[in-house]
Structure 1
């Protein structure tokens, strides 16, 4: 089964062969069900990526780059490619739930794995709560555009925005929790249909915009802020691509993980990039940049003011609502699988990782997280801490790029169904990925860094007080 390079202590490494063997043994004892294929996993990636970003963030990008926001989408995609390739290699080589947490355990040791796992718990939890809050806002926008009424502020907004409780956020989290508990097959089917629907909505926007409103005059001046504007917009737009890494959390439920995970990770990123570029071209060509920049719903504005289709706003609002639901489902799914992997390793209470024999899902864990996230979305101000999602994601990407290099050195002969090109003997692609990530991280506000530091300090204290003493790996070495 392999052995750890470090035998004990916080930097003990759980060998990749041991990780795989433990997973296979767990599956025989009633673990997660292998029930999804490459298409389901690709839809999982698309579901996690295409959300409010393309419906809203394009306006902010246009404000920074003008029509050259098209190039910003390309640049942001290129930035993601290096990390996506590294995720694909590690996911195919170590097809185990846990994503960056598991990869860090196999390369950098238990303490680093714990830190990234603790980081991902915050990142995914805050992201799910924030997306649920956004879902409530988009529900009101859809109701207003379509039927001319909206829910009262007292039940539609959290306390920080003049309400009492964000009831729509609680309802959608409860629905998603129920679906996740039902089973991965049901989750994959629901997500697949939502992905198809939102892609059709975006296809509708692209076709209508090009057919009725596109004008080359709207593309001039193309780059009013020059290269700096394009780069600044790319830094904002980068976060519209976050989510493809959620595919790797489904490793233990994939029927052929070594083949399907790389296809899904890279495939979902390619599809999302093509869609984003086409949407951005259609938007900036349909309405002048200033009008798009000033609109809170730029795609709806492009159809309404540019194409003269007033009912297009309702169509786009519905598409945004479905897109957000899909993101909520997939990100929440990813969080439960990371938490599951950490609990199975003993770093969290192991009893919460028990898989329900009927549904094949960690039901107790999923319900517990659902209650916590619903409360967070209903009552807690998220406007500030949501920035932690950005730094958490970048930190995970950083360790995954480094992990590829370390495994190439320590296990040069391990089976790698997918290999990052230009990664050996000089790890060019992973090093480029590291450089781009560090550049984006140093652009984040200081407040984000100190909040992140406080959260990690709490996590390190928890590890030494609980995780290290209950770690399965550490207990084996002590016995």
Structure 2
């Protein structure tokens, strides 16, 4: 039985306005990091068809943003997706979602941090990627312990710098195009075995799975629901605005690169596509400045994702998901900063250690778990309407159930495409399944037997956070 009104329930401090939450959310998405680190993977697979891959991903993003906004407006809790799924689909699906997120979020911090060294190498050749990533993660962890409002300002300043870098990249392509937009729209090409030819629909749609990942993060606003004023309405607005800004901030520069690259075959063959493009269009000095801005964007993303993950870890402690003393420690709130400081330190330490793991291993483990989480949220939105558990939501998605149904269809296709990939996709699906099974066993054999997994929320929202209390 839920008991969010317990006197011992730890509470985060409400100090964020919607703008502050939006800044942290956009920093976690990190459009610059996506354009410079993830987008080349889409281009490498779909070639100039990457334009359509990002458009398809944006459509899926709209569907998922509607789903996120409705669910988050009903349950703006620091536990995020797992807290929502547990309250709408049931505790077993909720804990499986938690297991997937615990593994994925920690690994994603390391995956992103490993990109810092790549872009700092333009100034300091020969840097050790794992060491730079570990130092970056440790430094971000120290910042994350401080007041959330301070971190909103820090992420906002860094975000402004990366947005300027994306504007520069966009200008380099649009002001000096090497090919017309019509060529991208009607005759996309891709490289296969070193030969450039027409990009098939299968390649474009398959690459959309990676593009979906590059937009991912708009839903993370929900993790700050207990620290945002008027969260039931504000978080939904934040999610929708975050998606719109992200799509523009990523699709525009990617399009500019595809239009402005002097040679598409050279772009496709380049080890660092974005550096090739900036060098070709503006020279090494501008490339150095842009590279430093991207390194700063990655640092900003690491900080924002640590803030997000630590809220989830805090929530697991408050919900008594672990043995007693561990749960109590993770649920501790710093008396001065009002932040979950032990959960933040634990998150940072684990993520720092993971920076030394094999990068291919990190990518395989994280590649498809977000698809499973998205799927659970779509089912949660449908079931929430059916059983009334989201009836108190301040935001209601338009055209229900179009968004969750179409999103599920798109996600199933992504799963199918990943199953055909023996290198990353198929192993990743098996690992995702394995994490789900282990999580389910822990819930069934430990948590359910002892009856101590208590779904808690902030006291000031007890009446709406759990329908059982209304």
The TM-score with structure 1 as length reference comes to 0.84
Cα gap change, 1:217/1:74 in structure 2, threshold over 3 Å: closer, same or farther? closer
Structure 1, unpaired ranges of 5+: 5-13, 158-165
Aligned residues: 434
Q: Which residue of 2 aligns with 1:168?
A: 132
Contact 2:85 2:377 in 1 (8 A): yes
**Partners in 2 of 1:249 and 1:400 — Cα distance?**
15
Alignment of 1:93-172 (within 5 A): 93-139=74-120, 141-144=121-124, 149-151=125-127, 156-157=128-129, 166-172=130-136
Measure how far apart 1:83 and its partner are: 1.3
Q: Which residue of 1 aligns with 2:158?
A: 194
Comparing 453-462 with 201-210, greater Cα deviation is found at 453-462
Q: Which residue of 2 aligns with 1:272?
A: 246
Runs of 4+ in 1 over 6 A off after TM superposition: none
Deviations 1:132-166 (A, max 9, x none): 22223332x2324xxxx433xxxx14xxxxxxxx3
Cα gap change, 1:470/1:171 in structure 2, threshold over 3 Å: closer, same or farther? farther
**Partners in 2 of 1:293 and 1:57 — Cα distance?**
14
**Partners in 2 of 1:382 and 1:64 — Cα distance?**
19
Q: Which residue of 2 aligns with 1:247?
A: 221
Q: Which residue of 1 aligns with 2:170?
A: 206
Contact 2:206 2:414 in 1 (8 A): no
Structure 2, unpaired ranges of 5+: 190-197, 419-424, 457-470
**Partners in 1 of 2:304 and 2:455 — Cα distance?**
32
Alignment of 1:376 with 2:346, yes or no, is no
Q: 2:288 pairs with 291, 314, 326, which one?
A: 314
**Partners in 2 of 1:473 and 1:68 — Cα distance?**
48
Contact 1:86 1:430 in 2 (8 A): yes
Cα gap change, 1:229/1:366 in structure 2, threshold over 3 Å: closer, same or farther? same
Measure how far apart 1:417 and its partner are: 1.6
Measure how far apart 1:172 and its partner are: 0.9
Q: 2:385 is paired with a residue of what secondary structure?
A: helix
Q: Which residue of 2 aligns with 1:8?
A: none
Contact 1:48 1:242 in 2 (8 A): no
Contact 1:56 1:298 in 2 (8 A): no
Contact 2:113 2:136 in 1 (8 A): yes
Cα gap change, 1:225/1:105 in structure 2, threshold over 3 Å: closer, same or farther? same
Q: Which residue of 1 aligns with 2:467?
A: none
Deviations 1:192-242 (A, max 9, x none): 111111001101111233224554299474352242332122222221111
Q: Which residue of 1 aligns with 2:460?
A: none
Contact 2:60 2:407 in 1 (8 A): yes
Contact 1:219 1:284 in 2 (8 A): no
Contact 1:44 1:246 in 2 (8 A): no
Alignment of 1:295 with 2:259, yes or no, is no
Contact 2:51 2:254 in 1 (8 A): yes
Q: Which residue of 2 aligns with 1:455?
A: 435
Q: 1:442 is paired with a residue of what secondary structure?
A: helix
Alignment of 1:367 with 2:345, yes or no, is yes
Deviations 1:284-332 (A, max 9, x none): 1111321221223322222222x24332211221122122112212222
Q: Which residue of 2 aligns with 1:405?
A: 382
Q: 2:226 is paired with a residue of what secondary structure?
A: helix
Contact 2:64 2:374 in 1 (8 A): yes
**Partners in 1 of 2:188 and 2:265 — Cα distance?**
12
Measure how far apart 1:53 and its partner are: 2.5
Measure how far apart 1:406 and its partner are: 1.1
Measure how far apart 1:441 and its partner are: 2.1
Q: 1:333 pairs with 296, 307, 316, which one?
A: 307
Comparing 339-348 with 119-128, greater Cα deviation is found at 339-348
Cα gap change, 1:100/1:186 in structure 2, threshold over 3 Å: closer, same or farther? same
Alignment of 1:78 with 2:59, yes or no, is yes
Cα gap change, 1:474/1:325 in structure 2, threshold over 3 Å: closer, same or farther? closer
Deviations 1:5-55 (A, max 9, x none): xxxxxxxxx5xxx66x56xx67xx662111112212222222122253211
Q: Which residue of 2 aligns with 1:259?
A: 233
Cα gap change, 1:302/1:184 in structure 2, threshold over 3 Å: closer, same or farther? same
**Partners in 2 of 1:412 and 1:112 — Cα distance?**
15
Cα gap change, 1:455/1:232 in structure 2, threshold over 3 Å: closer, same or farther? closer
Deviations 1:417-469 (A, max 9, x none): 2111111xxx2221111111122123223211222233233323333454332
Q: 2:342 is paired with a residue of what secondary structure?
A: helix
Q: Which residue of 1 aligns with 2:144?
A: 180
